[in-house]
Amino acid sequence: MSSVVIKGLYKKYENGTVAVSNFNADISPKEFFVILGPSGCGKSTLIRMIAGLEDITKGGIFIDGTPIQTIPPKNRGVALVLNNQTLYPNMTVYENLEFGLKLRKVPKNEIASRIDEVAQLLEIGPILDRKPAALSGGQRCRIAFGRAIIQNPKVILMDEPLANFDAKLRATIRSELKAVHAQLGKTVIYLTKDQAEAAELGSRILVMRNGTVQQTGTYEELYNSPVNLFVAKFIGEPQMNICEAELFTKDNRLWLRFGEGFTVALPEKASTPHLMRYSGKRVLMGIRPSDISLGFEGGDKDGSAISMTAESVELLGTHVTLNLVSRAVSLVVISSSATKVKSEEEVKIILNTEKLHLFDGDTERRIN
Ligand code: ADP
Which of the two residues, 1 and 259, has the higher pLDDT score? 259
Rounded to whole angstroms, what are the CA distances from 152 to 64, 127, 184, 261? Answer: 16, 21, 10, 63
230 and 245 within one domain? no
Is 48 close to ligand 1, i.e. is its CB under 6 Å away?
no
- The total domain count for the chain is 2
192 and 309 within one domain? no
Instruction: Give domain status of residue 367, yes or no.
Output: no
Q: Of 259, 264, 239, 234, give the one whose Cα is nearest residue 330.
A: 259
- Write down the pLDDT at residue 301: 59
Instruction: Give domain status of residue 12, yes or no.
Output: yes
229 and 121 within one domain? yes
Of the candidates 234, 251, 276, which is a domain's last residue?
234
- Write down the pLDDT at residue 300: 59
Instruction: Give domain status of residue 315, yes or no.
Output: yes
282 and 230 within one domain? no
Alpha-carbon distance of 7 to 11, in angstroms, equals: 12
Q: Of 64, 67, 39, 69, give the one whose Cα is nearest residue 54.
A: 69
Alpha-carbon distance of 68 to 255, in angstroms, equals: 53
Q: Among 11-25, 115-129, 160-174, where is mean pLDDT lowest?
A: 160-174
Q: Among 71-75, 117-121, 276-280, 295-299, where is mean pLDDT lowest?
A: 295-299
Instruction: Give domain status of residue 323, yes or no.
Output: yes
Report residue 307's pLDDT band, with 50, 70 and 90 as the boundaries.
confident
Of the candidates 176, 207, 234, which is a domain's last residue?
234
256 and 219 within one domain? no
Q: What CATH code is carried by the domain that includes residue 322?
A: 2.40.50.100
- Write down the pLDDT at residue 302: 65
Alpha-carbon distance of 109 to 269, in angstroms, equals: 67
180-224 residue pLDDT tens? 999 888 999 999 999 999 999 999 999 999 999 999 999 999 999
76 and 211 within one domain? yes
Centre of ligand 1 to C-alpha 12, Å, is 10
Which of the two residues, 82 and 115, has the higher pLDDT score? 115
93 and 48 within one domain? yes
Of the candidates 207, 234, 261, which is a domain's last residue?
234
In this model, does residue 1 exceed pLDDT 90? no
| Over residues 17-28, mean pLDDT | 98
198 and 108 within one domain? yes
User: How much is the pTM?
Assistant: 0.93
Instruction: Give domain status of residue 366, yes or no.
Output: no
Instruction: Give domain status of residue 292, yes or no.
Output: yes
- Write down the pLDDT at residue 200: 94
In this model, does residue 303 exceed pLDDT 70? no
Centre of ligand 1 to C-alpha 45, Å, is 6
Contacts of 106 (CB under 8 A, 6+ apart): 114
158 and 259 within one domain? no
Best residue among 9, 12, 13 to mutate for probing ligand 1's pocket (most ligand atoms within 8 Å of CB) is: 13
120 and 91 within one domain? yes
Q: What CATH code is carried by the domain that includes residue 12?
A: 3.40.50.300
Instruction: Give domain status of residue 325, yes or no.
Output: yes
Q: Among 5-9, 242-246, 345-349, where is mean pLDDT lowest?
A: 345-349
Is 21 close to ligand 1, i.e. is its CB under 6 Å away?
no
For residue 353, the enclosing domain spans 241-360
| Over residues 327-350, mean pLDDT | 85
187 and 69 within one domain? yes
Centre of ligand 1 to C-alpha 112, Å, is 39
140 and 32 within one domain? yes
Is 13 close to ligand 1, i.e. is its CB under 6 Å away?
yes
Q: Of 253, 158, 209, give the one whose Cα is nearest residue 18.
A: 209
For the chain, give the percent of residues with pLDDT over 90: 69
Highest mean pLDDT of the ranges 222-231, 266-275, 333-342: 222-231
In this model, does residue 299 exceed pLDDT 60? no
Instruction: Give domain status of residue 368, yes or no.
Output: no
In this model, does residue 39 exceed pLDDT 90? yes
